[in-house]
Structure 1
Amino acid sequence: MKRLLATSALLGTLATGTFAADLKEMSDEERALFRAEVRAYLFENPEVIMQAVEILQQREQQQQVQADVDLVAQNADAIFNDGYSWVGGNPEGDIVLVEFLDYRCGYCKRAHDEVAQLLESDGNIKLIVKELPILGEASVLASRFAVAVKQVSGDDSYKAVADALMTFQGDISMPALRRLGSTFGLDMAAVEERMNGDEVTAEIAATRALAGTLAINGTPTFILQDELLRGYLPLDQMQARVADKRG
């Protein structure tokens, strides 16, 4: 009976997080008995420890998810209505997907085609792209170029250049960007002048500040409605999450 009571107490305190409080309410004799019974039980049933770890991990994961939801809500205007990020997909879509990306990120390149497939297959998703160059000077150069193209030549040119940068396999340099710009018939003199201007600097700095506020330290990072998705997700998982958001 004592063993059963100790076991029940153990499982109850693991589930409710009241272990410390319960111990304080016991007498010294009860506390010693409890600890002895718990020790014996754990030696006989070590799988309970793993179950407790799983419960703790689940609880921490739930807390992180809620913390991320709160972060998104607190920064909604900067995330969804900053006035400068490129908007694609269906601007009137019932689902909003935000992507923080770096053109030199391997997982961003992998996600690129899958995001395109998601938008094409669904037709009711709004995509917002945020430039977050975090992988060195070449990444910064690529983002400055893309943002300058958007500011000088508009959204269509930005989309073409962004797609090309995401599939680009060589070293990103000014000669390479000039060749890319010529391919799309861009006014490279105007683009290069804008690349080093305050407008481009301000846009990238604002996105970096937002990423810092959201504790984003890697790419790709997605925001799907109210949920932060940190890292690459395969197409089928994206589709499943979109379906969950729609209920």
Structure 2
Amino acid sequence: MTRKLFAALALSTALSAPAMAFDITEMSDAEKAAFGEAVKAYLMENPEVLVEAIGVLEERQQAVEVQNDKVLVQTNAKELFDDGYSWIGGNPEGDLTIVEFMDYRCSYCRKAYTEVEELLAKDGKIRFIVKEFPILGQESDLSARFAVAVKQLAGDETYKKVHDELIAFRGSVTLESLARLADEHGVDKDDVLKRMNEEEVTAVLRANHQLAERMKISGTPAFVIGGEMLRGYAPLKTMQQIVADQRG
């Protein structure tokens, strides 16, 4: 057997283990050294083999991650889809639910906002849940606290209006700017600013952060679409395809 052929067969066997009976521990030190040199020489002369092997490994890892995400969704289904405090939009009686973990100061969340709004408008059968998940600093935290406080004090309709304005807001988020926003929507600014620091609001954000940690979510936006996770921004067509796949 030629050196190249030996290396190719050895490498192929190693990549497909444990199916084939190749045990390097049975080799002598000299054989191990020769084997290593043969594999190295083969890879240097045929680097495309290594690229192909890495591609296969990445595909397997992605498949494992997808399966792990499905388990995470199943394990945390109650907190994701029926927590009793998150805002629910779209079609509350829809046949499929999308959950978004978002931060008002996140540029990709702002980009995703337009895509999600279009998806909900075009589909009409999607139940949509927002999880306030402020991770980008003080202004993110202030925005989320304000939105949650508005929902608790003024209800879902006013929350949606405030949510839409906060996601598009380009100025600095301060207590003063939030007080003006409350006035614009007929919400008592003193009540809202007071509620922002109370346990009722803090408990919601704490629960969302704990859920995100269990779901291994560290960035925004992050979506749960039916039983599948989408980590990061995706264009409308991608989300539509995932929705179609989930519906089967």
Specify if TM > 0.5: yes
Secondary structure of the 2:145 match is helix
What residue number does 2:215 align with?
214
In 2, Cα distance between equivalents of 1:219 and 1:139: 12
Where does 1:137-152 land on structure 2 (aligned, <5 Å)? 137-152=138-153
Q: Give the aligned residue type for 2:193.
A: E
How many residues align? The count is 247
Residue identity (%): 51
Measured on the aligned residues, the alpha-carbon RMSD in Å equals 2.1
Q: Give the aligned residue type for 1:223.
A: V
In 2, Cα distance between equivalents of 1:45 and 1:94: 51
Alignment of 1:125 onto 2:126 = yes
What residue number does 2:183 align with?
182
Where does 1:26-105 land on structure 2 (aligned, <5 Å)? 26=27, 31=32, 34-105=35-106
In 2, Cα distance between equivalents of 1:201 and 1:149: 13
Please list the CA deviations of residues 168-226 of structure 1 after superposition, one character each: whole Å capped at 9, or x if unmatched: 11101111111111111112232222212111011111101111111111111111112
Where does 1:198-237 land on structure 2 (aligned, <5 Å)? 198-237=199-238
TM-score normalised per structure 1: 0.92
Q: How far does residue 41 in structure 1 lie from its aligned partner after superposition? A: 2.0
Higher mean C-alpha displacement, 144-153 vs 58-67: 58-67
Q: Give the aligned residue type for 1:215.
A: K
What residue number does 1:242 align with?
243
Q: How far does residue 21 in structure 1 lie from its aligned partner after superposition? A: 6.0
Q: How far does residue 239 in structure 1 lie from its aligned partner after superposition? A: 1.0
Alignment of 1:154 onto 2:155 = yes
What residue number does 1:106 align with?
107
Secondary structure of the 2:13 match is helix
What residue number does 1:194 align with?
195
Q: 1:169 to 1:16 in 2, by over 3 A?
A: same
Please list the CA deviations of residues 12-33 of structure 1 after superposition, one character each: whole Å capped at 9, or x if unmatched: 3213467996312456676455
Name structure 1 gaps, 5 residues minimum. Answer: none
Name structure 2 gaps, 5 residues minimum. Answer: none
Q: 1:199 to 1:64 in 2, by over 3 A?
A: same
Q: Give the aligned residue type for 1:176.
A: S
Q: How far does residue 228 in structure 1 lie from its aligned partner after superposition? A: 1.8
Q: Give the aligned residue type for 2:214.
A: T
In 1, Cα distance between equivalents of 2:73 and 2:9: 40
Secondary structure of the 1:217 match is coil
In 1, Cα distance between equivalents of 2:127 and 2:206: 24
Secondary structure of the 1:39 match is helix
Higher mean C-alpha displacement, 237-246 vs 14-23: 14-23
